[in-house]
């Protein structure tokens, strides 16, 4: 529903204790007074090692990187770094790696978000040494051949075409591209940029994003001393610069309008009715802002989704977009509020879809409900939204992979860590006045507008981007 890592505002419940260094490594313990201990060690070369122990036979380990710490011209190549992970290394062939992955019986992969690139693996605890060796080869000694790059270029084109036929997936990308500068990293690559990607550019991108002090080894369900020893063995000799070779750009919100026209409106719904889509984006706050909790509660309060739920009734049915929008206007296909926090900024979006003739009215209804929320927030609905938010955090953090990602993303950008109880305490402090205040601030600036399909019935004033 929303990223967990942005919730980093509270600092009082976290104690930072530095103890004696050993073997040239500086070590810290970050212990929350309300939850399990998280340990962090910095190796002599600057590589950070963080862990959190959990019960069970499985461990999840991986490496976190910032994919924006490379030249903008190389950012299309970062997608190939992700796609070609664990495909082959300078030490052995792809067949050899594939065989070992099968023998380990775990799950390995690489995934990227706008501000993070994550190599990960889940294995039995006694197989951690083999997993860390594979991680070392994938991150520091990858092999990029012309054949592999050409193959992934074809697959990337297919992915782009697939995403462009899915408005729910493509519209957020359009909104981010118009809200921020063109150098802002996207989840998809323009087909024209794919042609410039070569094995040399992929190697250059990999070198730049692993050169700075943003490389971090993270483990969940593993003893900290063991993880430090494995990290020292596999990454201790890696030469790390004092800072990244290329500083990541700070995305600057600029607003604007972009329209994606199709020959015919998509009909990907149960009744095969043509639909048009509108998404409005406003600058919110970064994930280390104290307002992140109020914005997250606001997102839960508005909620929303589609008019049809494949998972059964009851999910978010008391959110305002369900109660006052989807339940009242049968022709509205979807209405949803989402929040995309980043390191230095954030994007709060409102998205709706309806038949083309009604898309103008749908947008006005959506904005009217947002105005009503700014005027009044009831105690019962506020408490319900906060309870849903806390429940969602606790449920997601039951997953070891989610805990692994949350731990890594928090430390990657802030060197601080809050657990689920710390989140809950800060959410409980949010008041109705806080929600109204952040909503007024969010909606007071210039908007970014992205549309998909036939929007000829949309009010022209929406395209001005002004309130």
**pLDDT tens per residue across span 391-444:** 999 999 999 999 999 999 988 877 788 888 999 999 999 999 999 999 999 988
pLDDT recorded at residue 422: 92
**pLDDT tens per residue across span 130-151:** 999 999 999 999 999 999 999 9
pLDDT recorded at residue 6: 34
* Rounded mean pLDDT, 304-321: 68
Model confidence at 25: pLDDT above 60: no
**Of the spans 274-278, 342-346, 443-447, 455-459, which averages the highest pLDDT?**
274-278
Model confidence at 369: pLDDT above 80: yes
Residue 222 pLDDT level (bands cut at 50, 70, 90): very high
pLDDT recorded at residue 30: 43
**pLDDT tens per residue across span 283-299:** 999 888 899 999 999 99
Question: φ and ψ at 308, to 5 degrees?
Answer: -125, 130
Identify the residue with better confidence: 251 or 118: 118
Identify the residue with better confidence: 6 or 411: 411
Model confidence at 184: pLDDT above 70: no
pLDDT recorded at residue 22: 34
What is the radius of gyration, based on Cα positions, of the chain? 23
pLDDT recorded at residue 123: 94
Q: How many CB atoms lie within 10 A of CB 378?
A: 10
pLDDT recorded at residue 13: 27
Q: How large a percentage of the chain has pLDDT more than 70?
A: 84
Q: Which of 27-31, 210-214, 448-452 has the lowest mean pLDDT?
A: 27-31
Q: How large a percentage of the chain has pLDDT more than 90?
A: 54
Identify the residue with better confidence: 154 or 190: 154
pLDDT recorded at residue 18: 30
Model confidence at 115: pLDDT above 60: yes
pLDDT recorded at residue 46: 86
List 105's β-bridge partners, or say none. none
Q: What is the 3-state secondary structure (H, E, C) of the chain?
A: CCCCCCCCCCCCCEEEEEEEEECCEEEEEEEECCCCEEEEEECCCCCEEEEECCCCCEEEEEEEECCCCCCHHHHHHHHHHHHCCCCCECCCCHHHHHHHHHHHCCEEEEEECCCCEEEEEEEEHHHHHHHHHHHHHHHHCECCCHHHHHHHHHHHHHHHHHHHCCHHHHHHHHHHHHHCCCCCCCCCCCHHHHCCCCHHHHHHHHHHHHHCCCCEEEEECCCHHHHHHHHHHHHCCCCCCCCCCCCCCCCCCCCEEEEECCCCCCCCCCCCCCCEEEEEEEECCCCCCCCHHHHHHHHHHHCEEECCCCCCCCCCCCCHHHHHHHCCCCCCCEEEEEEEECCCCEEEEEEEEECHHHHHHHHHHHHHHHHHHHHCCCHHHHHHHHHHHHHHHHHHCCCHHHHHHHHHHHHHHHCCCCCHHHHHHHHHCCCHHHHHHHHHHHHCCCCEEEEECCCCCCCHHHHHCCC
- pTM of the complete model: 0.85
* Rounded mean pLDDT, 87-111: 91
pLDDT recorded at residue 117: 93
- Look-up of token digits 């006045």: 433
Identify the residue with better confidence: 251 or 462: 251
- Average pLDDT in the chain: 84
* Rounded mean pLDDT, 175-192: 78
């Amino acid at each position: 529903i929303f990223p967990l890592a942005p919730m980093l505002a509270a600092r009082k419940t976290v104690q930072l204790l530095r103890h004696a260094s050993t073997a040239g490594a500086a070590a810290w313990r970050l212990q929350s007074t309300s939850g399990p201990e998280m340990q962090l060690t910095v190796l002599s070369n600057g590589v950070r090692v963080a862990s959190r122990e959990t019960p069970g036979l499985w461990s999840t380990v991986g490496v976190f990187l910032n994919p924006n710490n490379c030249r903008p011209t190389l950012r299309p190549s970062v997608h190939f770094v992700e796609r070609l992970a664990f495909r082959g290394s300078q030490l052995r062939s792809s067949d050899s790696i594939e065989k070992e992955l099968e023998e380990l019986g775990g799950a390995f992969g690489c995934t990227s978000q706008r501000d993070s690139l994550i190599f990960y693996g889940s294995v039995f605890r006694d197989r951690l040494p083999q997993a860390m060796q594979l991680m070392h080869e994938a991150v520091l000694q990858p092999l990029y051949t012309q054949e592999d790059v050409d193959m992934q270029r074809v697959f990337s084109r297919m992915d782009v075409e697939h995403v462009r036929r899915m408005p729910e997936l493509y519209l957020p990308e359009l909104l981010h591209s118009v809200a921020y500068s063109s150098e802002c990293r996207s989840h998809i690559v323009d087909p024209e940029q794919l042609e410039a990607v070569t094995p040399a550019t992929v190697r250059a991108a990999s070198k730049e994003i692993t050169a700075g002090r943003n490389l971090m080894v993270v483990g969940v369900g593993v003893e900290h001393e063991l993880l430090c020893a494995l990290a020292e063995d596999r990454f201790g000799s890696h030469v790390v610069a004092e800072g990244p070779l290329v500083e990541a750009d700070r995305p600057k919100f600029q607003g604007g309008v972009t329209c994606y026209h199709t020959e015919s409106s998509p009909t990907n719904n149960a009744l095969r009715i043509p639909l048009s889509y509108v998404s409005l984006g406003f600058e919110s706050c970064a994930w280390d802002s104290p307002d992140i909790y109020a914005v997250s509660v606001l997102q839960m309060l508005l909620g929303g989704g589609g008019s049809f739920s494949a998972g059964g009734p009851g999910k978010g049915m008391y959110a305002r977009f369900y109660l006052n929008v989807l339940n009242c206007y049968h022709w509205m296909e979807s209405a949803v509020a989402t929040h995309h926090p980043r390191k230095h900024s954030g994007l709060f979006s409102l998205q709706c879809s309806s038949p083309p003739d009604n898309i103008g009215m749908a947008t006005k209804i959506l904005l009217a409900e947002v105005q009503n929320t700014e005027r009044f927030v009831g105690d019962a609905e506020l408490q319900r939204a906060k309870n849903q938010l806390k429940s969602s955090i606790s449920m997601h953090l039951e997953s070891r992979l989610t805990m692994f990602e949350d731990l890594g993303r928090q430390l990657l950008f802030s060197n601080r860590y809050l657990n689920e109880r710390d989140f809950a305490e800060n959410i409980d402090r949010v008041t109705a006045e806080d929600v109204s205040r952040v909503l007024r601030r969010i909606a007071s600036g210039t908007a970014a507008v992205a549309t998909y399909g036939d929007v000829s019935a949309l009010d022209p004033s929406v395209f001005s981007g002004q309130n």
